[in-house]
Amino acid sequence: MSKVIAKTGMVRALGAMSGTSLDGVDTAVVETDGITIAGFGQSDYCSFSDAERAVLRAALGQWHGPAVEAATEVVEAVHLKALAGYEDVDLIGFHGQTLAHAPRLQGTLQVGNGAALAEALQRPVVWDFRSDDVAMGGEGAPLAPFFHFACAKHIKADAPLCFLNLGGVGNITYVDPRFADPDEPGALLAFDTGPANAPMNDLMQARLGRPCDEDGRIASKGTVETGALELFLAEPFFAKMPPKSLDRNDFAEMIDLVKELSDADAMATLTAMCAAAVAQGMEHCPTPPTKVLVTGGGRHNPVLMEMLRVSLDCPVAPIEEVGLDGDMLEAQAFAYLAVRVARGLPTSCPSTTGVRASVGGGMISQPEKALH
């Protein structure tokens, strides 16, 4: 039965996230009022099949057409399966699947119809989180920083720290928890650092038919090709001041830089590129952070984590060190953001996406027919 969201007080929100690494759909419950986090609830993961992943991969970088329509069907079907097992939630935050992202050109495209999910699940669904930000001059990404700010408060951090998400693309959020609100000047700085798991996963799929370099085993046997690394770091993106964002395929030529290398050397070099991009990005932080907490699939790669520890001037640790769930943080973020949207609170600001003013994006779809 559909619920009416109260204007104040704690809400049980269910978030769903499918990232550019194309592994599957994360779902997670957060209890929040849209400002503070009261607690975390059930979470789960629903993997894409190889066939579903192939459909999504075929649609990457496209804005319309049969491939996009096929991807939309996969996204909606898998999300419906992933979200159907939850009860006692007040609303759902549905990110959808990003297929293309060019905020200064065509815009941003996340496929999946939140209204159809609202009807099928009989719950209010908040979706299309990024379009309003882009329409107001923002990058539309990253959107998790306001949640990262709440997480910093939740773990009682008292000094600046960074949340580093290593999914298909890497992004970093610098948080100063001494501020009261996330859109106060100085409270947040966020931007994409560069490619992360996407090129590594693509190379593994193309060469070895595997979705990823599990535990960095292939990379651990290789040697970094410094010439390719230097060419990569010469890309203009790294000199650009944040906020800034990337499409999953913006650095597709990385694969060309390592095409003559062995599997092991190619993976070692791509892993080093990810770490070097992060190190370059850290130079934009207003003050040195006290620590970097790593979330997303990249934290499971010991080779990448060691490269980060060597290249950064502060402690680097998986986010589990502070009691948070690095596999579910993005899904939790969209649960949290859904409540902010429902209550008219901003979800991005100039220092996170470059948007002209603080803005709360997102559409809210209510089920047309309540089940009795």
- Token output for 62: 């496209």
* pLDDT of res. 250: 78
* pLDDT of res. 370: 54
* pLDDT of res. 369: 67
169 CB-contact burial (10 Å; exposed 0-12 / middle 13-18 / buried 19+): buried
Same fold, 11-140+361-365 and 156-322: yes
Least confident among 143-147, 246-250, 282-286: 246-250
Residue 184 amino acid letter:
E
* pLDDT at position 103 over 90: no
276-285 confidence digits (pLDDT tens): 999 999 999 9
* pLDDT at position 148 over 70: yes
* pLDDT at position 249 over 90: no
What is the pTM assigned to this prediction?
0.92
* pLDDT at position 371 over 80: no
Q: Count CB atoms within 10 A of the CB of residue 129.
A: 29
* pLDDT at position 77 over 90: yes
Q: How confident is the model at residue 5 (pLDDT cuts 50, 70, 90)?
A: low
* pLDDT of res. 2: 47
180-230 confidence digits (pLDDT tens): 999 999 999 999 999 999 899 999 999 999 989 999 999 999 999 999 999
* pLDDT of res. 225: 98
CATH top class, domain 11-140+361-365: alpha beta
Q: What percent of the chain has pLDDT over 70?
A: 97
* pLDDT at position 343 over 70: yes
Residue 91 amino acid letter:
L
* pLDDT at position 294 over 50: yes
* pLDDT at position 172 over 90: yes
CA distance 307 to 165: 15
Does residue 232 sit in helix, strand or coil? Answer: helix
DSSP per-residue letters across 96-113: EEEEEEETTTTEEEEE--
Mean pLDDT, residues 319-327 taken together: 96
Mean pLDDT, residues 81-91 taken together: 95
Q: What share of the chain is helix, strand, coil (3-state, %, to 5)?
A: 40, 20, 40
Least confident among 19-28, 59-68, 126-135: 19-28
- Token output for 111: 């496929």
* pLDDT at position 52 over 50: yes
CATH topology of domain 156-322: Nucleotidyltransferase; domain 5 (3.30.420)
- Buried b / exposed e over 255-282, threshold 16 CB at 10 Å, is bebbeebebbbbbbbbbbbbbbbbbbbb
Before 195, cis peptide (omega within 30)?
Answer: no
The domain spans of the chain are: 11-140+361-365, 156-322
CA distance 68 to 259: 29
Mean pLDDT, residues 339-359 taken together: 95
* pLDDT of res. 3: 53
Q: For the chain, what's the residue count?
A: 372
Q: How confident is the model at residue 19 (pLDDT cuts 50, 70, 90)?
A: confident
Q: How confident is the model at residue 23 (pLDDT cuts 50, 70, 90)?
A: confident
Q: Count CB atoms within 10 A of the CB of residue 13.
A: 29
* pLDDT at position 173 over 90: yes
354-366 confidence digits (pLDDT tens): 999 999 988 999 9
Inter-CA distances, 141 with 35, 71, 225, 252, 347, Å: 20, 21, 31, 19, 11
* pLDDT of res. 4: 53
